């Protein structure tokens, strides 16, 4: 995935519901602003991330939601592939799977929340440097 994600206006429960629609029985991991693992809590702080990971060993699908503020989230999909070079066919399958996962996530958010907020995020359109830093960090860390 290129690092393009969506920005959604939703509460944590809606984010979890949409992630569970994409990834069956996902494992949750919570990360602090500086990338350290943190214990789950009632709500994430700005810049913190929750990662929903498929419970399989090979190339698990991953959905990452980075908190931008209040009920605003930056969401990206990815997969954790082994550190071996894959061929073009495998790479294209991974891209298609990420796109499909993002579509399912986005459709669920649109149905369950104010759909106008579930939109493609243009990196250059960000007017807020703080928000842009959160988006850049999440994209760099979680997309391949």
Instruction: Give a yes or no: residue 1 inside a domain.
Output: no
Residue 138 is predicted with a pLDDT of: 83
Q: Which residue has the tokens 């996962």?
A: 101
- Enclosing domain of residue 13: 6-142
Instruction: Give a yes or no: residue 36 inside a domain.
Output: yes
Residue 127 is predicted with a pLDDT of: 60
Average pLDDT of adjacent 10-residue blocks, the chain of 144 residues: 70 91 91 91 89 85 90 85 68 82 88 63 58 82 72
Q: Is 16 helix (H, G, I), strand (E, B) or coil?
A: helix
Residue 16 is predicted with a pLDDT of: 92
Instruction: Give a yes or no: residue 102 inside a domain.
Output: yes
Q: Give me the residues paired with residue 65 across strands.
A: 50, 75
Are 59 and 80 contacting, i.e. CB atoms less than 8 angstroms apart?
yes
Instruction: Give a yes or no: residue 51 inside a domain.
Output: yes
Rounded to whole angstroms, the Cα distance separating 61 from 56 reads 9
Instruction: Give a yes or no: residue 90 inside a domain.
Output: yes
Rounding to the nearest 10 degrees, give the CA dihedral for residues 110, 116, 61, 100: 80
Residue 2 is predicted with a pLDDT of: 37
Domains identified in the chain, total number: 1
Nearest CA among 67, 77, 71 for reference residue 130 = 67
Instruction: Give a yes or no: residue 77 inside a domain.
Output: yes
């Amino acid at each position: 995935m290129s690092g393009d994600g969506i920005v959604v206006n939703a509460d944590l429960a809606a984010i979890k519901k949409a992630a569970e629609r994409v990834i069956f029985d996902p494992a949750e991991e919570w990360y602090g602003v500086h990338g350290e693992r943190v214990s789950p809590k009632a709500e994430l702080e700005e810049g913190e991330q929750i990662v929903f990971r498929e419970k399989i060993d090979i190339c698990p699908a991953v959905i990452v939601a980075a908190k931008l503020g209040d009920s605003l989230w930056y969401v990206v999909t990815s997969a954790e592939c082994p550190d071996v070079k894959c061929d073009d066919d495998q790479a294209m399958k991974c891209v298609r799977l990420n796109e499909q996962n993002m579509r399912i996530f986005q459709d669920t958010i649109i149905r369950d929340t104010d759909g106008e907020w579930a939109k493609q995020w243009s990196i250059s359109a960000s007017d807020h440097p703080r928000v842009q830093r959160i988006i850049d960090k999440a994209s760099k860390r979680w997309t391949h």
